[in-house]
Amino acid sequence: MATSSSFRETLLAPRALTPRQRDRRERIEAATFTLLALHGGEALSMKMIAQEAGVAERTLFNIYGSKDGLFASSARQRSEETIAAAHREAGAEPEDGGMAFFRVLPGKLADKTFEAPELARAFAPILVAHAGLVGLPEIYENYAGGALRSMRAAGLVTVDDIALLARLVCMSMVGTVILWAKREIADDALETHLRLAICQVLLPHAEPPLAGELRGEARRHLRMLSRVMA
């Protein structure tokens, strides 16, 4: 891939955009979302996206370097918006010591998935094939890592490597959505699977009484899944 390191740095630390540049990026992202949902990644070309967005094809290559770069940027934008929304909503409950983020996140991810399910299915392989460009681990280190630090300060968890645990949360969330995209998880079971995955990641590090709460939640989610699969 021709773009990798320099483009990835642009994703992680984008320079300030002028209003005109921001408008152009928004049109490109909207066109990418629309066409990915309709055609999937393999059938979609930069020419098709440029025509839909009303820009020159060369502009797309100048900004993103390649189709993979454009898809990675779009996947990152969509993912970070969802995770940031969970962070904002959880911020209204500071007394939870950071746990509110993990209670809100599965619902936000499920809602975003079903807002445009065909787009979510198109993005799933991109998250795997271009994980380094998308940079989801860094996003989770920022938001989930912040929540974990609050939980550690509140005595809810005992964990030395916050970055590693945040990345495990990332892997569990992405892995669950990918299983859904492959139709191995039913629509009405996705949020429950996401909540169960959160319990599984946090439980080994949880202190009482959170550990008991997570075990209870995990049992409840398992019962719900057994009813869905019956």
Domains assigned to the chain: 4-229 (1.10.357.10)
- pTM beyond 0.75: the answer is yes
Average pLDDT along the chain: 90
Task: Examine the pLDDT at 93 and tell me if it is beyond 80.
Answer: no
pLDDT at 178 (0 to 100): 95
3-state secondary structure the chain: CCCHHHHHHHHHCCCCCCHHHHHHHHHHHHHHHHHHHHHHHHHCCHHHHHHHHCCCHHHHHHHHCCHHHHHHHHHHHHHHHHHHHHHHHHCCCHHHCCHHHHHHHHHHHHHHHHHCHHHHHHHHHHHHHCHHHHCHHHHHHHHHHHHHHHHHHCCCECCCCHHHHHHHHHHHHHHHHHHHHCCCCCHHHHHHHHHHHHHHHHHHHECCCHHHHHHHHHHHHHHHHHHHHC
pLDDT digits (tens, 9 = 90+) for 173-222: 999 999 999 999 999 999 999 999 999 999 999 999 999 999 999 999 99
